[in-house]
Amino acid sequence: MENFITHIGVDESGKGDFFGPLVIAGVLVDEKSAKLFAELGIKDSKKITDKKILTLEPVIKEHAPHSVIAISNGKYNELYANIKNLNKLLAWGHARTIENILEKHECTYAISDKFGNDHFIQDALMKKGREIKLDQMVRGESDIAVAAASVLARAAFVHKIADMQCQYGINFPKGCAAQVKDCAGEFISKYGKDRLKEVCKTHFKTYNEV
């Protein structure tokens, strides 16, 4: 990979899912790991099956420094109630992920998938993070580090959904399609509406429609 610059890639999973957490992941990729990840076919997690993602997850973790932040539904709803802006909440998660990696590893460059005004993440970064050059790219998953981060974020989301299914005995669908309402109704019939906030994002319209 000619002129490759070691950098951190950051991406999220769960933003558009009614059920489950919001997960932000970051991966620090150098030339060697970038080549390996490209050979393994690592790309935007939306273009890979969940089964494949779970096989790639340990490989990425073994070969690259990383940070994964999973914001549970309870914490997510608490943060959203205070911040009232999804982009600011995403920026907080992206910034913390970058900071976590920088605590143990030197890096001067980071790329994230663009989701709002550029200043959101910059404003959320603390002292060490503000020293880094940060590019926010449309379709950032085309970058190998961002793609690797998207895989780790999705893997963590899939694991959490599986944990929730075991805990509550309900098969939680991904996304926010029609079957989500049916599942929410099933949850309410078993546990009551008050507990729905334990497993979902309450600012979604779906919450008030069930």
Would you list which residues are annotated within the binding site for a divalent metal cation?
Answer: 11-12, 113
| Both structure tokens of 19 | 């059920």
Kindly report the number of other CB atoms within 10 A of residue 20's CB atom. Answer: 26
| Both structure tokens of 106 | 């030197």
99-103, long-range: CB < 8 A, 24+ apart: 99/125, 99/126, 99/128, 99/129, 100/26, 100/67, 100/69, 101/8, 101/26, 101/28, 101/65, 101/66, 101/67, 102/8, 102/128, 102/129, 102/132, 103/128
Single out the residue of 37, 38, 41 nearest to residue 60, CA to CA.
37
Q: Residues forming the annotated binding site?
A: 11-12, 113
